[in-house]
Amino acid sequence: MKIKRNIICLCLASLAIVAGILPAPRASAYTQQDLNNINSKISELRTQMKAYEEQASAFAAEANNIQNEISSLQAQQAALKTQIELKEAEREQLMAEIEATTKRINENSDTVGYTIAQYYYNDEISTIERIASSDSFSSFIDEEMKLSSLSDTLAGIIEENKNLKAELEVKKKNAELILEDLNSQKSQLASLERQQTALLVQARENESSYLDLKNSAASQKASLEEEQQKILASLAAQYNVSNVTAGDPNKGGYPYSNRCPQQKDAFADQWGMYICECVSYTAWKVYSTYGYMPYWGGRGNAKQWPANARAAGYTVSNVPRVGAVGISTGGAYGHAVWVEAVAGNRVYISQYNYRNAATNYQAGEYSEQWVDQGMYQYIYFGK
């Protein structure tokens, strides 16, 4: 049979709020009002713990977002560093070009100076005198042609120098502007990273503070629960809860079956489990089957049973067997069932307080069904 698992299980042990009316108690150090008061305080602490945990989670999420932002800034810084290194390499190359160009300008300047000097000199000497001073007529012709060629390129050399100087100025200005911009971006990113780091530290401190508040509330809650157990034990003795007999056999023989679900959580059984809860039923089944059920001392929520059982020397296994208690640790409190039969990888269970929309079971009611064995861990109380 396929089971629809839209389950809401509220298997509270001794942390539920007492509902219903108890018969008049006998003389005792504790009263129903004592229990109501301490339950109210525990409920308030539980609410505070939830609020603290939500605040801590919010700050943790904020811190994670800030950390992601810091990582992004660091990645941008790394990219900028690479760009700066590239631009610095280009700048070095530009400086080498500038040096080479400067050398060319100087050479051109020397050439221009020589040309002007030659023309000035030759302009002072007559052609006859230049011929006479030459080694030969051919050398005179060569010299004249050389001067003529230099004269033809003089304007070009001057124009080239002018262009080279202008080009160098543009390159130098662009290089400086690029480096200035990159360094400015780098500085801005570093400033943002410092701000984000400060926010991260604050968020982590806030998260830690709220976790400390939650732990403090949890400590107070644990102390109140110890007192709560004393009150429960006292009230259980007053109302003869320890002297119970089996109830309706069609409802698991549970002693309080006639009170369920109307008086669910009205009082605790002899093991400190509130009646009509899954753990109260399985505690009774263990007791009625094996003659003994440990008192967990206020640690009776279903999800706490595996650790309690191991501490008490009982076996906890993933393999089901008849007469074992099955434990699901899902949800806030977990769920406890009694194994009635095993068939392959399916187990037939009985239980209380199992709410299932598919079968119309309500909170605090008795039910039976087949389930997959993998849904539970199994505690062997018998030998």
Q: What pLDDT was estimated at residue 353?
A: 92
Q: Are 297 and 256 members of one domain?
A: yes
Section 196-209 average pLDDT = 87
Nearest to 157 by CA among 187, 122, 112, 114: 112
Q: What pLDDT was estimated at residue 282?
A: 95
Average pLDDT value for the chain = 76
Place of tokens 């004249």: 144
Section 341-359 average pLDDT = 85
pLDDT at 296 over 70: yes
Q: Which residues contact 328 (CB under 8 A, 6 or more apart)?
A: 9, 302, 303, 334, 335, 336, 337, 375, 376, 377
Nearest to 281 by CA among 252, 313, 249: 252
DSSP secondary structure, 56-115, as one string:
HHHHHHHHHHHHHHHHHHHHHHHHHHHHHHHHHHHHHHHHHHHHHHHHHHHHHHHHHHHH
Q: What pLDDT was estimated at residue 144?
A: 60
Cβ burial of 237 (10 Å; 0-12, 13-18, 19+) is middle
Q: Are 323 and 359 members of one domain?
A: yes
| Residue 261 preceded by cis peptide, ω within 30 | yes
Q: Are 365 and 262 members of one domain?
A: yes
Section 6-25 average pLDDT = 33
Nearest to 281 by CA among 159, 366, 381: 366
Q: Are 284 and 365 members of one domain?
A: yes
CB 317 within 8 A of CB 305: no
Q: Is residue 161 part of a domain?
A: yes
Q: Are 95 and 200 members of one domain?
A: yes
Q: Are 70 and 213 members of one domain?
A: yes
Polymer length in residues for the chain: 383
The residue that leads in pLDDT, 327 or 147, is: 327
pLDDT at 275 over 80: yes
Q: Is residue 303 part of a domain?
A: yes
Nearest to 264 by CA among 5, 16, 2: 16
pLDDT at 24 over 50: no
pTM above 0.75, yes or no: no
* Phi, psi (deg, nearest 5) at residue 7: -105, 140
CB 196 within 8 A of CB 66: yes
What residues make up the domain containing 196?
66-222
Q: What pLDDT was estimated at residue 93?
A: 79
Residue 293 belongs to domain with CATH number: 3.90.1720.10
Q: Is residue 215 part of a domain?
A: yes
Q: Is residue 99 part of a domain?
A: yes
Q: Report how far residue 293's alpha carbon sits from residue 282's, in angstroms, rounded to the nearest whole number.
A: 9
Section 123-143 average pLDDT = 57
pLDDT digit string (tens) for 222-272? 888 788 767 766 665 665 455 667 788 889 889 999 989 998 888 888 888
CA angle 238, 239, 242 (to 5 degrees): 95
Confidence of residue 19 (pLDDT cuts 50, 70, 90): very low
Section 366-376 average pLDDT = 93
Confidence of residue 189 (pLDDT cuts 50, 70, 90): confident
pLDDT digit string (tens) for 134-185? 556 566 565 666 666 655 566 676 777 778 777 777 877 877 787 787 778 7
Q: Are 218 and 247 members of one domain?
A: no
Confidence of residue 112 (pLDDT cuts 50, 70, 90): low
Q: Is residue 31 part of a domain?
A: no
Q: Is residue 39 part of a domain?
A: no
Number of domains within the chain: 2
Q: Are 164 and 267 members of one domain?
A: no
Q: Report how far residue 161's alpha carbon sits from residue 146's, in angstroms, rounded to the nearest whole number.
A: 21
Q: Are 217 and 287 members of one domain?
A: no
Confidence of residue 55 (pLDDT cuts 50, 70, 90): very high
Q: Are 92 and 153 members of one domain?
A: yes
Lowest mean pLDDT among 9-18, 47-56, 371-380: 9-18
Percent of the chain with pLDDT strictly greater than 90: 22
Q: Are 251 and 217 members of one domain?
A: no
Q: Report how far residue 194's alpha carbon sits from residue 307's, in angstroms, rounded to the nearest whole number.
A: 46
Q: Is residue 163 part of a domain?
A: yes
Q: Are 149 and 87 members of one domain?
A: yes
Residue 339: CB atoms within 10 A of its CB come to 23
pLDDT digit string (tens) for 83-111? 777 777 777 777 777 777 777 767 766 66
Residue 157 belongs to domain with CATH number: 1.10.287
Q: Is residue 230 part of a domain?
A: no
